[in-house]
A and B are shown apart, each in its own frame.
Chain A
Amino acid sequence: MEDGSDGPTRSIVDTAREGSGIATAYLALDRLVSLYELDDAAAVVDVPGLGRQVLHAGRRPLRELARELVDAEPGLYLQPPLEDPVVTELVLAVSALGLRCDARPPRTA
């Protein structure tokens, strides 16, 4: 089977291997914005230990978006909307997993 991944996808994988979970989550969100030429993107996820969390593409402040997103249900909020349940599920999974991994207390020897 051919490797269908392109450069940017590998970059997310590299970040997942070597970087932090939160950096991986943001990179996935930013790739989504770039790939689909979106105006904006935010992921709302529930994370054990952290509760409801909002990630905004580019690590940018929410500003006026906070009114909409601080109380929002978990989901992927895109502008303009993109109807792709697989992409939505994957980005939300990476976001939740990245934050959950980072939120864990460091292992002690």
Chain B
Amino acid sequence: MADRSDATSLDELELALRRLPGVVAVGFVDADALLLVEVQVGPEGYDEIARDAALLAGQHAPGPVTVEVVRWGGGGPAVTSPRIALVDVTTDPSAGQLTVELALGEETATGRASSKHGLLAAVQATVHALRVLVPGLPYLPGWARTIETTPERRFLVVASVTDPDTQSHRRGVAEGGSPLEAAARATLAALNRTIEPGLG
């Protein structure tokens, strides 16, 4: 964000986003080469605002960018929680294994990965569990990175998954009480919009 032209681009991006009806706040995190944009949307926000925000980000951002839209209704966040929910992330040091448990209504699914892969293991295990609930899910685990640790010891993680056929990448950002939990949540956030239409 230090470069002058980059700063100008950020100004333009932020103003363009704030002009969208319902947008009340815009924030940025520069995670190495990836720009994360948080857009807070009040009750006046419209249905396609996430699409429009992503389009604007693509036009104005100086490099790779991912957009997180947070919607608020009257008195609290809108119900945007995923239909697939994270139940638990556990590690078994003796087996060198990490397990992610997900739930879709009454149905649950677990995915496992070798914990020697560190943060990526949480992405791998989450994708494996998702495939139980969403057969045919084309996305493969990509990478995960902790971008912020708060003074309250909360961890902000970005996770990336890739569809090898279309070479499309999806990235999500989420917070958690541990980096592994945050990585699992970020993986769900990356794929929510893709998998929800295929459910039910």
A: which residues have CB within 8 A of B?
19-20, 22-23, 49-56, 59-63, 66-67, 69-71, 99, 102-103
Instruction: Please state if A67 and B28 are interface contacts (CB–CB under 8 Å).
Output: no
Contact of B28 among A50, A61, A103 (CB under 8 A): A61
Instruction: Please state if B24 and A51 are interface contacts (CB–CB under 8 Å).
Output: yes
Residues of B with C-beta under 8 A to A51:
24, 44
Q: Give min CB distance, A28 to chain B, whole Å.
A: 15
Instruction: Please state if A67 and B10 are interface contacts (CB–CB under 8 Å).
Output: no
- B163 located at the interface, meaning its Cβ lies under 8 Å from any Cβ of chain A in the complex: no
- B34 located at the interface, meaning its Cβ lies under 8 Å from any Cβ of chain A in the complex: no
Instruction: Please state if B29 and A22 are interface contacts (CB–CB under 8 Å).
Output: no
Instruction: Please state if A66 and B18 are interface contacts (CB–CB under 8 Å).
Output: no
Instruction: Please state if B18 and A52 are interface contacts (CB–CB under 8 Å).
Output: no
Residues of B with C-beta under 8 A to A70:
24-25, 40, 42, 72
Residues of B in contact with A, size category: 20 to 34
Given the interface pairs A22-B15, A23-B7, A70-B72, the reply to whether A52 lies near B42 with Cβ below 8 Å is yes
Instruction: Please state if A71 and B38 are interface contacts (CB–CB under 8 Å).
Output: no
What sequence of 0s and 1s flags, for each residue 76-93 of chain B, a beta carbon within 8 Å of any chain A beta carbon? 110000000000000000
B: which residues have CB within 8 A of A?
1, 7-8, 10-11, 14-15, 18-19, 24-29, 36, 38, 40, 42, 44, 68, 70, 72, 75-77, 156, 175
Given the interface pairs A52-B24, A53-B24, the reply to whether A59 lies near B10 with Cβ below 8 Å is yes
**Docked complex Cα distance between A3 and B18 (Å):** 36
Instruction: Please state if A67 and B76 are interface contacts (CB–CB under 8 Å).
Output: yes
Sorted nearest first, the 6 A-B pairs with minimum C-beta distance are A61-B27, A61-B38, A54-B25, A20-B11, A70-B72, A59-B28
Instruction: Please state if B25 and A69 are interface contacts (CB–CB under 8 Å).
Output: yes
**Docked complex Cα distance between A105 and B173 (Å):** 33
**Docked complex Cα distance between A26 and B188 (Å):** 33
**Docked complex Cα distance between A66 and B75 (Å):** 11
Residue with the greatest number of chain A CB neighbours at <10 A, chosen from B7, B40, B77: B40
Instruction: Please state if B11 and A54 are interface contacts (CB–CB under 8 Å).
Output: no
